[in-house]
Structure 1
Amino acid sequence: MKVEIENKMIKVDVQYGNRKKLSIHIDSFGFITVKAPKDTSQEVIVSAIESNGKRILEKIHEIEVAREIPKAREYHAQGKFLYLGKECFLHELIDSSELNEEVLKRNLKKFYINSCKTIVEERIKVYQKQLKVKPKIIEIVESKAKWGSCSSDRKLTFNYRLAMAPIEVIDYVVIHELCHLLHMNHDRSFWRRVGSIMPDYKEKEEYLARYGHSMSF
């Protein structure tokens, strides 16, 4: 379902079930899910979204800003950068001797891209066996909006900045996207499948929402 709020079109996944009240949830990716009692009309759902429009837009804005605000870094051997959830000296990640800032930035980005590719491919091998799915293509990309995505042609993409996150957070994003090979929408079946592999996945979502802005260089 798509609903227009203040001239901005937002996509909403609606889940119907045995519940008494309607609720709206926005995860760390900016995905919006409405959980509603059975037989709830579309008009009621749209009205609920519109009445919470300001809060929804503010939350989406917070997520977008958090992913765009860069943290100032010092590009020298003792400068600190995140890798797998820990701060490391630049010289521990790449060769930092006698190189200018522009070259160091370029080489560090290559390091993150290559590391992310290696880690993601290894973790996919682990979880695709459990989920009994297999992606057709795996790509590492640069994105300000998403940590991962799954297309209808079974292509999975992952943000190279994930290499800065703890391995269990990377695992969550891998599981999240692999589960989309079974359920393209964020419906109840999707989250049930994610939870069957990683019961504490909400903690990983919270990590990305809270610390995603610091995963930059």
Structure 2
Amino acid sequence: MEVDYGKSIEKPYLPCNYPFLCTGNKMIKVEIIKVRGKRKYMVLRLKSDGTFSLRVSSHVTGSQIDTFLDKNASWMRKTKEKFDKAIELKKNVRFEDGEKHLLFGKEYEIKLVKDKKCLSFDGFFNLSENCKDNGRKVFRHFYRNILQSYLDERLTVFSSRMNCTYSTFSVGSATKTWGSCRNKTVLRFTLLLAMAPVEVIDYVIIHELVHTKIAAHGKLFWNEVEKIMPNWKEKRKWLMENRDLLLSYV
């Protein structure tokens, strides 16, 4: 049974001593949620509204909470800054004429047109004026279909080259994972990849195909990835650095 005391505190973006309110610093709101249980634990998460929740077992003391939050102040600051940046990026996407959107790592302009078809691509994103208000939904559908075609071709190439087998693959709208491999046969990819450079998409394909042989991310796993793509770290870094940008478009 959960007991939510409805208690919230504020922590500064920059570390400072107790009490939490420090003059001149931006504040981070943290909701403390106490959960009954025998085991001591603390779980800190960023919520969808940009505030944090800290779930703690009823055995955790106030001073332990203070110490935990102080220790994680830097992570909270960076995470909140990334969240605020992502929100700002999303606000700037309006699906206007001349606005640039990504496809396979390159930027192309939107051209508003009078057409029954919501979206087509010929070097421009030809977006129907009638579909502009549903721009995010329209682009998600477009990205899903075009990535499906790309994956269909590249999975065949890499699975043959790597001597890997899989049963099916699909494209979904996940925002926290780039790809997944279930039961070593079922592959799933996020439509966000349609905006990434093709070599980055290929990295995710290789990554998931290796999972059809090796489940865990150990040394053996990464050695297999490196055999096919020696610069895989560079591609993974691109994904880490550009997640918020990709999310802002859809």
Q: Is TM > 0.5 for Structure 1 vs Structure 2?
A: yes
Q: Amino acid of the residue matched to residue 234 of structure 2?
A: E
Structure 2 vs 1, CA of residues 68 and 133 (structure 1 numbering), >3 Å: closer, same or farther? farther
Residue correspondence of structure 1 range 130-209 to structure 2 within 5 A? 130-152=161-183, 154-209=185-240
Given candidates 70, 79, 86, the residue that maps to 2:106 is: 86
Structure 2 vs 1, CA of residues 134 and 210 (structure 1 numbering), >3 Å: closer, same or farther? same
Distance (Å, rounded) in 1 between the aligned partners of 2:85 and 2:209: 23
TM-score scaled to structure 1, two decimals? 0.68
Alignment partner of 1:73 is 2:104: no
- The higher radius of gyration belongs to 2
Q: CA deviation at 1:89?
A: 0.8
Contact 2:184 2:213 in 1 (8 A): no
Alignment partner of 1:129 is 2:186: no
Distance (Å, rounded) in 2 between the aligned partners of 1:136 and 1:116: 18
Q: CA deviation at 1:122?
A: 1.4
Residue correspondence of structure 1 range 111-126 to structure 2 within 5 A? 111-126=142-157
Total equivalences in the alignment: 172
Q: CA deviation at 1:90?
A: 2.0
Q: Amino acid of the residue matched to residue 195 of structure 1?
A: E
Distance (Å, rounded) in 2 between the aligned partners of 1:175 and 1:66: 33
Distance (Å, rounded) in 2 between the aligned partners of 1:209 and 1:59: 18
Distance (Å, rounded) in 2 between the aligned partners of 1:152 and 1:66: 37
Structure 2 vs 1, CA of residues 209 and 193 (structure 1 numbering), >3 Å: closer, same or farther? same
Q: CA deviation at 1:187?
A: 1.1
Superposed CA RMSD: 3.1
Distance (Å, rounded) in 2 between the aligned partners of 1:132 and 1:114: 26
Distance (Å, rounded) in 2 between the aligned partners of 1:120 and 1:59: 37
Name the structure 1 match of 2:246: 215
Residue correspondence of structure 1 range 21-36 to structure 2 within 5 A? none
Identity %: 28
Point out where structure 1 has 5 or more consecutive residues left out of the alignment.
9-49
TM-score scaled to structure 2, two decimals? 0.60
Residue correspondence of structure 1 range 50-69 to structure 2 within 5 A? 54=72, 65=83, 69=87
Point out where structure 2 has 5 or more consecutive residues left out of the alignment.
1-39, 45-67, 112-122
Greater relative contact order, per chain length (Cα 8 Å cut-off, separation 6+):
1
Alignment partner of 1:6 is 2:42: yes
Structure 2 vs 1, CA of residues 109 and 61 (structure 1 numbering), >3 Å: closer, same or farther? same
Distance (Å, rounded) in 2 between the aligned partners of 1:77 and 1:148: 32
